[in-house]
Amino acid sequence: MKFTTKSLCRNKVKLTSLSSIAAIGLGISILNITSCAVAPPGVPNIPSVSEAPQTDSLAKSKSVSAYSPPLERPGLGTGWGKDISSEVGFINFKRSSNKPSGVASIYYNDKEGIKAMTNSWSYSGSGMQKAADGLVEWGVKGSWGYLKNKHSKGKRFVTGNKDKNYALVVKNLSRTRLEIVFSVDGLDVMDGKPASIKRRGYIIPAGETLTVKGFRKSADAVAAFKFASVNSSYTQLSGTGTRNIGVIGMAVFTEAGRDPWKYGKTELNNRHNARAFAEAPQLRAR
């Protein structure tokens, strides 16, 4: 799939070829990249101890405390990885409702963090699991396959490894197109801004699978999702803070005027099991 325009974030991108994977805008979903997530800025400079007044040993000890960097939160966040080629286009998609048909979350951390968060837990099979009342199945894929799931107190957890890339994978199990809005650490994967179900997402045709490998930088590339320390996470370095670190969100929207289960499993089973002749003769009134 080729695109005729490859302008970067500072210029509005108008793509002439359609892709089956992206939708931005309301009603007519168009990807207009007038601004987008950029490489996170460095950690702000912290004044040195020598810049603070030191009249005596007590003042010196106070100045050291005042200008020491904050202690880092333990566990993992998601960093800004290397560029990965990922072309995106636009396509019309009108939501059937402003309210998503389903919202799901996956929590992640390192092994020690997951152990602390899940006093009692159980494995729940393969990495891909159903969500949104069966409209989709989704999971987190690492370098060597899908990350194993744990369930504890109604939440789903996966264990990550620092400096390793990961991707979000979702398969459309319905009979119609769906719109998927993803967030990582409370940030929208399309532009790195605070996540909201009002934002637009990726379009997945019926029966197909979408793999999202990073925060979108432009119409041609994403910055890889990479497990990182909290202080090195994108949400921390971009100034958003770390309140929502460690959670991946997904909102699923159906298309207006279309029934995703028109020929779903139940209907097909009923059709296949229809009998040409009843087992017992039917009765009628005299």
pLDDT tens for each residue of the chain, 286 residues long? 433 333 333 333 333 333 344 444 444 343 433 333 344 444 333 333 333 334 444 444 444 445 455 577 899 999 999 999 999 999 999 999 999 999 999 999 999 999 999 987 777 778 999 999 999 999 999 988 999 999 999 999 999 999 999 999 999 999 999 999 999 999 999 999 999 999 999 999 999 999 999 999 999 999 999 999 999 999 999 999 999 999 999 999 999 999 998 776 677 788 888 888 767 666 677 7
Q: Tokens 């199945």: give the residue.
A: 137
Sign of the torsion angle spanned by Cα atoms 210, 172, 160, 107: positive
CB of 181 closer than 8 Å to CB of 200: yes
